[in-house]
A = this chain, B = another copy of it.
Amino acid sequence: MSSPDAPLDREAFVARLRAEGENRYHDRHPFHVRMHAGKLSRRQIQAWVENRFYYQTRIPIKDAIILSKSEDPAFRRVWMHRISDHDGKEEGLGGIAQWIRLAEGVGLDVDEVKRLTHVLPGVRFACDAYVTLVRERPLVEAVASSLTEFFSPDIMARRIVAWEQHYPWVDGDTLAYFRGRVTRAREDSREAIDYVLAHATTRAEQERCVDALIRKTEILWALLDAVDRAHPDT
């Protein structure tokens, strides 16, 4: 019989991470449900895009912190592409530039978006909390917090369909960020789960990884809370 402190086996640990993450993933947030159901106004879509941009800008920063916590060139080699995926190999390429084109596609003032003019305090706090989590927790937990990527390929695929159907005023070419993430997030989550399975070897460490993933879902949820509250249905 296994003791309550025995580590979960590989399958049970993955199942646990998936269940805890999936139950809390931000696609269940009322604002997000309304987004994919075509219920958001142009201004609500814009508000989401300009606020979520702050989250996007935090990604290379938290990934650089993750790099800095590793002692292993092989791990850093694998993880590093995440930074260039967002920053681009050159000006105008990469996820951040794609998000800026999305901002343009929904009719926002790109300079204001870049200057983070309309980022809500609650959005800032949530996204900064992600960077802090990654900075303060051990590497394996920081990596585990990225495992919301388990769920993002599906949400991205559904988002493209939903936006094309419900928000035809958005230039479809500007949805490139979502398209790119379908494949990329799948590969990223595979890399991350391999690392977590190899390095969270005690039950206590496994639980802290689950906790880090839950914190991350709370961050994504709080971002939508803030946008939803500031931009209610009219």
Interface residues of A (CB under 8 A from B): 57, 60-62, 64-65, 67-68, 70-71, 73-74, 76-77, 80, 83-84, 86-91, 94, 96-97
Contact = CB atoms under 8 A, between A and B. Distances in A.
B61 A73 contact: no
A134 to B, nearest CB: 9
A interface, by DSSP: helix, strand, loop or mixed? helix
A128 to B, nearest CB: 13
Contact of A87 (B60, B76, B88): B76
Contacts of A71: 57, 61
B64 A90 contact: no
29 contacts: A57-B71, A60-B67, A60-B76, A61-B67, A61-B68, A61-B70, A61-B71, A62-B68, A64-B65, A64-B67, A64-B68, A64-B76, A65-B65, A65-B68, A67-B67, A68-B68, A73-B86, A73-B87, A73-B88, A73-B94, A73-B96, A73-B97, A74-B91, A77-B84, A77-B87, A77-B88, A77-B89, A80-B80, A80-B84
Those 6 A-B pairs whose CB atoms lie nearest each other, nearest first: A64-B68, A64-B67, A73-B87, A65-B68, A64-B64, A76-B87
A124 B91 CA distance: 38
Nearest to A95: B73
Nearest to A74: B91
A87 B80 CA distance: 10
A9 to B, nearest CB: 30
